Structure 1
C-alpha cells in the first residue's frame, strides 16, 4: 500500500512537470490575486488528473473508450476555452479582470482549470504508460488503487503548490509591475497554447 502511494506521488510529480496552459493560468492568477488563487487553480487540475488516474488504475475501459473515441471534439472544446481565456486577458483592463474573478469566486478558479484538465482524454493513456513503466500492470486490491490515486493527487498538487510559491517569490523580487501588462503577457501565452492545440489536431 505504501509503495503504491509513493509511486503515485512520483507519477504525479512527473505528470505535472509539463505545466502547459494550466501552468500559465496558475502563475497568472498567483501573480494577480495571490498564493491561494494559484492553489485553487492547481486544485482543479489535480482533480482532473485524479479522475483520469482512477479510470486508468481501476481499468474502467467503457469510460476510457467513450472518452478516447470523442477526444477530438473534447480537445477542440478545451482548446477553444484556453484561446478564449487568453483573448479575454489580452483585451480586458486589469480592473475588469479583477472584478470578473471576484464575481466568479473560488469555484470559478477551480472549475476553469478542471475543465481544461479534463479536456485531454489522452491523459488516460499517459497514466497507463506511467503505471506500466513503474511496474503497476494492474491493481489487485482496491486499497492499492486508492493509495495510487491519492499519491497522484499529492504529487500533482505538490507541483502546483511549488509553482505558485515560485511565482510569489519572483513577484516579490521583481517588484510590482503593471497588472495589465502581466495579464497581456499571460494572455498571449494562453493564446499560443490554445492555437497549438488546434494545430495538433490538424497534424
Structure 2
C-alpha cells in the first residue's frame, strides 16, 4: 500500500476514535461556547496528543508498554475517575459569563491548562489504547508491515490529523452559534456539563466496585 493510503486509513481511525461523545468532548464544547473557536481547539489538541501516543503504542506494538498499561487498569481508572469528579465539580460550581472588550468583542483567554487536563483525561482512559489495538489489529493487510517504520509514522500522523479535524469541526460549529447564547444559557450548560463529567467519573467507580465484587 502507498503512504497516501496509510494516511487516509489513519485519518479515518482518528475520526472514529475521537467522535464518540465523552468527557473531553464536553470540555471542548464548554470552552468553544465560552470563548470561541480557538479555545475549543486548545482543549481538543490535548486529547489529540494522548490519542497520538496511544496510536503509536498500538501500531508499533511496543509490548512492554502495552503490558504495563494492561497491568495497571485499576490504577489508571481510579486516577481518571478522580479527575472527572474534580473537573465536573469545578465546572458545576462555576458561573461564567461572556466578557467583552470595549468594542463588544469576546475576550479570548489561553486554555493551555485545560488542554493539559484534556490530555490527562484521555491518557488515563485504558479503553482508548484497547480501541486502537483492536482497530489496528483488525486492519490486517491494510496496516504497515512489521519494520515499515515510515509507513507506521504516516498512519500515526493520519490519526493525529483526523482527530484534529474533528475538534476543529466541533469547535467551529459550536462557536458559530455563540452569539445566540447568553449568561443564563452558559450557567445551565455548566450544570449539565459538570453533571455529565461527574457521572462519567461515578460510572468508572461503579464499574470498579462491580469488578471487585465479582
Q: Of the candidates 158, 168, 183, which is equivalent to residue 161 of structure 1?
A: 168
The structure 1 segments of at least 4 consecutive aligned residues displaced by more than 6 Å after TM superposition are none
TM-aligned CA distance change 1:197 to 1:114, over 3 Å: same
CA contact (8 A) 2:96 2:183 kept: no
Instruction: Deviation per CA, 1:170-203: give whole Å up to 9, x if none.
Output: 334x432423332222111211111122222233
TM-score, scaled to structure 2: 0.84
Between the aligned partners of 2:132 and 2:145, the Cα distance in structure 1 is: 12
1:30 corresponding residue in structure 2: 32
1:188 corresponding residue in structure 2: 195
Q: Of the candidates 106, 128, 132, which is equivalent to residue 127 of structure 1?
A: 132
TM-score, scaled to structure 1: 0.88
Structure 2: state its 5+ residue gaps.
98-106
Q: Note if 1:146 corresponds to 2:153.
A: yes
Which entry has the higher C-alpha Rg, 1 or 2?
Answer: 2
What secondary structure does 1:122 align onto?
A: helix
**Across the two proteins, how many residue pairs are aligned to each other?**
195
Q: Of the candidates 89, 92, 107, which is equivalent to residue 87 of structure 1?
A: 89
Deviation at 1:105, TM superposition (A): 4.0
Deviation at 1:148, TM superposition (A): 0.7
Structure 1: state its 5+ residue gaps.
96-101
Between the aligned partners of 2:38 and 2:71, the Cα distance in structure 1 is: 36
Task: Indicate the structure with greater helix content.
Answer: 1
Give me the CA root mean square deviation: 2.0
CA contact (8 A) 1:68 1:122 kept: no
CA contact (8 A) 2:10 2:158 kept: yes
1:98 corresponding residue in structure 2: none
